Structure 1
Amino acid sequence: MRILLTMLAILAGLWVQDVRANPTQWEREFPKTDFSRSDIGGWQEILSGGPGRDGIPALSDPAFQKVDSETRIDPREPVLTVEIQGATPRAYPLRYLTWHEIVNDTVGGVPVAVTFCPLCNSGMVFDRRVGGQTLSFGVTGKLRNSDMVMYDHQTESWWQQALGQGIVGKHTGTQLKQLPAWMESWAEFARRNPDGLVMDQPRANRSYGRNPYAGYDSRNRPYGFFTGEQPPHGVPALARVVRVGDRAWPVARLSKEGEIREAGVTISWSAGQASALDTAQISKGRDVGTIRVRDAQGKDVPHDVLFAFAFHAFWPKGMWMLGG
């Protein structure tokens, strides 16, 4: 209930949004973080999102159930799919990730961090191994360019979720390995993986299946946590784009063309997936479609589907693949 009230306060504009990161103040919250090391432009880039450390509770080693045992999830609801060779495919429903943002798990012997930042629509999966050590991640409660700042429990270094990169502390500049993963509807996952596994509902008091950011992806601008530039070329701030490296393809273009082959990748779009950030009930969100990105050999390519403002913020010199 506490986290729900916090989110509602944020959405109503009642939270003081100009509370900036202050190492002196936050050393009590993160006593192991080496604040003398960072590669950000200044502490003014980081804002408090409202909840403090672990106020949005990450999950570790969640329970799973078989596809044919799942009865809660609507066919159109989005899941984040992880398929690692030699392991049973796993689906992580956004109805849970919206409230927890990080899941520390192990798939086929690979320790992974399954992450979702609702404010940027960024869903990415990382290998948790760094320099021979397996890290586990939590939510700092801080935002940079409206994107979640994670931290690892081992060194309390801070990590930018959209970049998969350390930005404060011992692991400043360290890059996590992003693994191929994609968002698709529950129906798509279940149809392709009848013997697959789906993350079970966590044992927490949350309104799973509800979207606390109702109407967010129809706004003209993101919430006040973001104060940066708007995207170029007339691309709406909350338009979804497919990012591969430092290139971005507007999903609006993909939905018209169905498939695009450019820059060494094939990007396809198919209807059937509900937006997790539209209506209050996720299952009733408008259709935003499913994106798959593959290379010339047909293998899945690590990518992200995030909002245009976030791409421009983190890749200001990135290439916009507008077609024409």
Structure 2
Amino acid sequence: MGYKQLVFNKDSLFLVTGGAGFIGSNLCEAILNMGYRVRCLDNLSTGKQENVDLLIDHTNYEFIKGDITDFDTCISACEGVDFVLNQAAWGSVPRSIEMPLYYEEVNICGTLNMMEAARQKGIKKFVYASSSSVYGDHPVLPKKEGQEGNLLSPYALTKRVDEEYGKLYYKLYGLDTYGMRYFNVFGRRQDPNGAYAAVIPKFIKQLLNDEQPTINGDGRHSRDFTYIENVIEANLKACQASHEAAGQVYNIAYGGREYLIDIYHTLTSVLGKDIEPKFGPNRKGDIKHSNADISKARELLGYDPEYSFEDGIKLAIDWYKENL
């Protein structure tokens, strides 16, 4: 069962932090479409005003321009809220290597502010974004919760610390926290621009513009690319998970494995482009291969992803053709 059949109390209010971003705005839209109320908190540092404008006329949507690094903002944003979906963070492994202090402030202190605000306001469920980067240099595939290696970037460290706080807030205060270890999420509204853009939207935009994309490394890196609809399902099912399933982290992926060079050739084929890529140096802090064991999320959250990579990439390409 997907998320659209889930039923919450009719007056439920969801707070989505980072709700003007890629994942956050999709969560906001999905919850509104299900008939529930959404409060979006975003400082628009990486989120987009256009993602707010898309929903602002909806009667069940409220936007707060504010920052999770400000505790008073977090407290007021949690007023009357049933469920927190904490997506606010700065992403990108390479950028975190350049800006470690900023990542500490936003990703650790900001997330801790939100957990503490949620605790004080009696929030039912606190679902937060983590990352597959926490597996670090652990070589074994598929990646399984509890088998982590040495961290390779400040970004990964911030997410690991968030997870530890999530466990503590469950054990010490009884706050139901659920960590979502996302694996390479892609889909509609993912930003194709900038030096730190994700690979799929970046490639699609460049190919549509007849530009030659650069693949970091030899193209033999592999990733468990995960379509946005699967991530929405995971977040909303976590909001209905048991108290016993809280205080833990979960791999959120499809459970597949795609090589970058194969993805590139898929895109050129679907878009009808005959453009060979350039190959650049490996990115600092990158892991070579990533593939998720999602059995824990299946068992404890009822997570059952509907969209394969093939399903998702077709939908993503269609969206970018219409919106770029």
TM-score normalised by L of structure 2: 0.24
Query: Higher strand fraction: Structure 1 or Structure 2?
Result: 1
Name the structure where helix makes up a greater proportion of residues: 2
